[in-house]
A and B are shown apart, each in its own frame.
Chain A
Amino acid sequence: MIINNENIAKMAQVHEDEKSGIADVYVTDVNNLKNVASALNEMGFDHCVSVTCVDYKTKMSVIWHVSSYSKDEYKGVIVQLRIDVNVDPNHGIWRQGFRAPMVDVPSLVDVWRSAEFLERETHEMFGINFVGHPDLRPILLSEDFYGKWPLRKDFVFNKTEAKYQIE
């Protein structure tokens, strides 16, 4: 067992796969997410490698991949901190011009500063509203493409939308 921590075991389901090198930490309760992240950070997983999301149509699975620079024993390990959020049309922020509502998930920028730009990218691609993130402006997409959530599975590319609009 790489992640041998009582606090984390109480709040999340830990599953380790030696072949793929992934230690999967699955958090079931949103309220525990920040505590689990802090516990991982204290263990020595000090930086965020990637933030991403997998769209399962009825639910979104938001994933933080974290690893360690400072502890030798964790350098080769990638921890996959995962949380599932249901997509509910009546939940989250739905503004005019948005194709689908956002999904609320707590931001972990307080724990890992290196997640800031990665969470910003996931926000504009999937419409995940990272609550507590200091700055959720679009980063890679243009402003007129904001709100379309292009990496969700129900996104259909429309050529007329892609044309440059002066207004």
Chain B
Amino acid sequence: MSERLYDISEVANIQPEGEREIELQVGPAHPGSGHMRLKVWVDGDIITKVDADIGFVHRTSEWLSERRQYIKAIPIVERIMLPDTVHANLAYVLALEKLLKIEPPPRANYLRTLAAELNRITSHLYGIGIFGIFLGSSTVYMWAFGDREPFIDLMEMLTGARITNSYIIPGGVRWDMPKGFRERAETTLQYMEKRLEDYNDIWAKNPVVEARTVNVGVVDKNRAIKLGVVGPNLRASGVDYDTRKASPYAAYKDIDFDVPKMDHGDAYDRLLIRIEEIRQSIRIIRQVLKDMPDGKIIADSIYSQLNPVMKKVYETDGWHRVMFPAFFNQIRPPPSESVARVEAGRGEIFFYLKSNGDKYPYRFRWVTPSFRNLPFLTDVAVGYRLADLPAIYGSVDYFPPEADR
């Protein structure tokens, strides 16, 4: 028996009289979904204060975008929000189109909605999977990441790339919907509807999950508004707000869908609302596929500037494809400013662009949903036990690279 190196009672005595709090470091070595650190102060095992230390994956996207042509910012914003690429792309292009005063044709709007909703499903499945691993349920993690795959395959069929699509360009989209897409999408949606029942059985109605999430991390309506929470987390607290309804973009004006909301605002509600939103996305995709109008996929003002070879490629086989025109490099919007908001999977993306008539944006500002959900992590965990922290962190669906930009 080796001798004990230190006396436990001595260590306990290091704490001076009256000071009961201990500081703990959670992270930054990948506590679950990424690179951020939570400094947590505990009294016993009750959390008294949380400080979020972020910025480990800051990629200076604003600095980079202000030193490039407008069109080259699309890959930059996409790579910041990897589970949500279409929404980042769409939000930026909407802001740019407002500067350029271009209106996309209706078919392009429908294709944008289709891509966005497919992306929302993959984003929510990603969130559900990460939440599963936080609560120690590897089954849900494997299921969610496996079920994400058919949707990513659909995205590949529609846009040509699995994750970083760069599908949406000023004035429209790059590719039309390929032949056979409708049938394949319908098969995938039917499969997902069946799987959602399975998720309910093994995940949402699981007594272990209920025990760990019900009444944990409760945020009521007024507090959620005050903290400026966004996305599904806001709606789980009972606030009826969705950017798709509040300021409709793409084709959402013509589509009939519900915005699910919960009342209680605990981690369990934030879990359920993501499953509900997948159901609504399936409903939207069915409508989009049914009502998709015919016509051009790019605005006339862009189409008329394409050269004869590009116009020939556009019409080949009755399936439209826009060859990326070189004049996109020379975009010089008139001096003005514009804002754009898009409801992404995790919440609202905000863009503010300022042009002074030059090739490069004078000011390129964007705020991502995870950054706006930060007060959630620092304020809401206070008062709960340390063992509840993974459930709270997981339910927020926080994605560090997205917050750090």
Contact = CB atoms under 8 A, between A and B. Distances in A.
* Size bracket, chain B contacts: 35 or more
A113 B227 contact: yes
B55 A140 contact: yes
B225 A70 contact: yes
B367 A116 contact: no
A76 interface: yes
Most chain B beta-carbon neighbours within 10 Å: one of A50, A116, A121, A150: A50
Interface in A1-35: 19-22
Interface in B367-399: 367, 371-372, 374-375
B220 interface: no
A39 interface: no
B228 A113 contact: yes
A117 B339 CA distance: 20
B282 interface: no
Contacts of B362: 54
Nearest to B234: A69
Interface string A34-75: 000000000000111110101100000001010001100001
Contact of B352 (A50, A75, A116, A142): A50
A116 B228 CA distance: 10
Contacts of B404: 140
Interface of B is mostly: mixed
Interface stretch (B58-66, B68-76, B314-322): B58-66
A140 B54 contact: yes
B363 interface: yes
A141 interface: yes
A19 B55 CA distance: 36
A125 B364 CA distance: 13
B241 A50 contact: no
A115 B367 CA distance: 12
Interface string B47-61: 000000011001010
Interface string B328-362: 00000000111101000000101010100000001
A65 B228 contact: no
Given A46-B225, A50-B350, A114-B226, A76 B375 contact: no
Contacts of B405: 140
Contacts of A46: 225-226
Interface in B113-155: none
Interface of B: 54-55, 58, 60, 62-63, 66, 98, 225-228, 234, 239, 241, 245-247, 336-339, 341, 348, 350, 352, 354, 362-363, 365, 367, 371-372, 374-375, 404-405
23 contacts: A20-B98, A20-B337, A21-B339, A46-B225, A49-B341, A49-B350, A49-B367, A49-B372, A52-B352, A52-B365, A54-B354, A65-B339, A70-B225, A70-B239, A75-B241, A78-B339, A113-B227, A114-B226, A114-B227, A117-B371, A118-B371, A140-B405, A141-B55
Interface of A: 19-22, 46-50, 52, 54-55, 63, 65, 69-70, 75-76, 78, 80, 112-118, 121, 125, 138-142, 150-151
Given A113-B228, A116-B375, A140-B55, 8 more contacts: A22-B337, A49-B228, A49-B367, A50-B365, A54-B362, A78-B339, A139-B55, A150-B60
- List the 8 closest pairs (A to B, CB-CB), nearest first: A114-B228, A75-B246, A76-B247, A47-B228, A140-B55, A52-B365, A140-B58, A50-B367
